[in-house]
Structure 1
């Protein structure tokens, strides 16, 4: 049996039309989408298939849409007999990983990310916080600059994606000033991100407090398959620890590069991106160039992966 790891995409990968081909091809996907619409009280399916894009991009819609799409594909993979040895997700994608690992039920996860999205939107005034991608500097070089940013110019590391690609997050004023200093320090580029808030920074602490209350009412099981947590980049299976890490995840950096390095040490045969887009597959190649990757997001890509998975080693 091949040793594979699942990775699940986070916010930013959403796209109008996502999931439609799977919905039309697999009864289990249609059933899950229908259950999701009923649980949420509105047609997320219609929004995913038809848009408009501005509505789908809203955090409170994008998060459940991406999760629903990922866990539906994961369910089909399970029907096909695919069993991952480990899972992880990028930010929001960690919830898909927890569903795949048996820690959260699909509908509980869907409600959680819908609430999470709302709380993240409400945690900081719209337009007052932002994020930027810093290309070409090391984590240490960026941290050296950010030490001077606090209070009204608070800025933190948000996503450590791969060598030379790190996202910062904080107040709009702080990110603009930090971007200027990082460019002067030698960054190849500093790209402002089209986001609605300072996610994965200390400015999300109020959202984490409210989210903790909601999370405490949700059933979280011990995971059957190790989930590599964003906060620690280490495997976790205990329900209590999972709950703590999900709260911390809102204001802590996503250590995705370290997660991929940890997967490589486990001698995985392939890393499979389950869900919309190919962003994470691209990051895998930048961290571990020779690592085999698959992006499974429609019937054709799913079949291509299944064919490889079932080949004799």
Structure 2
């Protein structure tokens, strides 16, 4: 009964998230390594002021995910697969042995910078809950123009979708979606229009930076939430990481795939539990490390291993 580690994306961030990490030697080393690469103390990035920045949010999510997974795995049974939503894919790639942590820190800082510079204001993302893609897609198409760009960005569950685009366009789609029966249309804490064609140019620039990076074949099963496939080829993983900011997130399909290949326990890395809620309908067990003691999670992983 294999264990899948999941890594959240933007919107999951919380003030003090790095300071809340467990007092563990491997966590301390991970924080120190990130600080060395950045040339500053990474702990200063998790206050409310810094978390208004896309760069700080993405760095904090990377560091929290890698540090938590390392501490969990050092003291307990192994994991068998990883999957990350958006920026979470970088933490997943590090834990799977495909990408070095130092390279991930440098790339994530650049990624956040490119995204923020592309759309410094007037854009973002909105969650639409309660209608399916067949209902939402024509509403988005009716609003989407060069002047009012908007796209479906995240397919998180059958009736949990996220749109990305300009403020005006998202407001109009939200009105139409609520009139069509959506339960909620709510802005999420992401200041850029991720996972759509608006970030194609930024993704191309990030892909150029990967020319200086070595990506290896993963030692754990690496599930891409952009491709909704398991990837093993380093070239494909490189492309996946570089391009994922401009590609829709297909989380629901990815989790269906992970279950189909016998992943039974899903363990979400800090700081949130959103992925756990999305996994629970499909997995026999899905837990968030922020909601359960590490030793209790290790017991579950051990049982999964023995089973």
Does TM, scored on the shorter chain, surpass 0.5? yes
Counterpart secondary structure, 2:90: helix
Match runs of 1:16-27 below 5 Å: 16-23=15-22, 25-27=23-25
Unmatched runs of 5 consecutive residues or more in structure 1: none
Structure 1 length as normaliser, TM-score?
Answer: 0.91
Match runs of 1:229-240 below 5 Å: 229-240=224-235
Aligned match for 2:132, one of 138, 146, 149: 138
Q: What does residue 96 of structure 1 align with?
A: 91
Aligned match for 1:156, one of 151, 156, 163: 151
Match runs of 1:1-313 below 5 Å: 2-23=1-22, 25-48=23-46, 51=47, 53-124=48-119, 126-148=120-142, 149-285=144-280, 287-288=281-282, 291-297=284-290, 301-311=293-303, 312-313=306-307
Deviation at 1:178, TM superposition (A): 1.7
Q: Kindly report the root-mean-square deviation, in angstroms, between the aligned alpha carbons of the 2 structures.
A: 1.8
Deviation at 1:100, TM superposition (A): 1.1
> Which string of whole-angstrom CA distances, capped at 9 and with x for unpartnered residues, describes residues 249-299 of structure 1?
1111111111111122122221011221111111112x42x630121248x
Are the equivalent residues in 2 in contact too, given 1:284–1:291 (CA < 8 A)?
no
The 3 A distance-change label for structure 1 pair 280 and 106 is same
Are the equivalent residues in 2 in contact too, given 1:127–1:172 (CA < 8 A)?
no
Unmatched runs of 5 consecutive residues or more in structure 2: none
Report the Cα distance in structure 2 between the residues aligned to 1:134 and 1:169, rounded to whole angstroms. 11
Are the equivalent residues in 2 in contact too, given 1:146–1:156 (CA < 8 A)?
yes
The 3 A distance-change label for structure 1 pair 11 and 177 is same
> Which string of whole-angstrom CA distances, capped at 9 and with x for unpartnered residues, describes residues 223-258 of structure 1?
122211122110001111111122331111111111
The 3 A distance-change label for structure 1 pair 46 and 54 is closer
Report the Cα distance in structure 1 between the residues aligned to 2:135 and 2:210, rounded to whole angstroms. 36
Report the Cα distance in structure 1 between the residues aligned to 2:165 and 2:126, rounded to whole angstroms. 9
Deviation at 1:81, TM superposition (A): 4.2
Structure 2 length as normaliser, TM-score?
Answer: 0.93
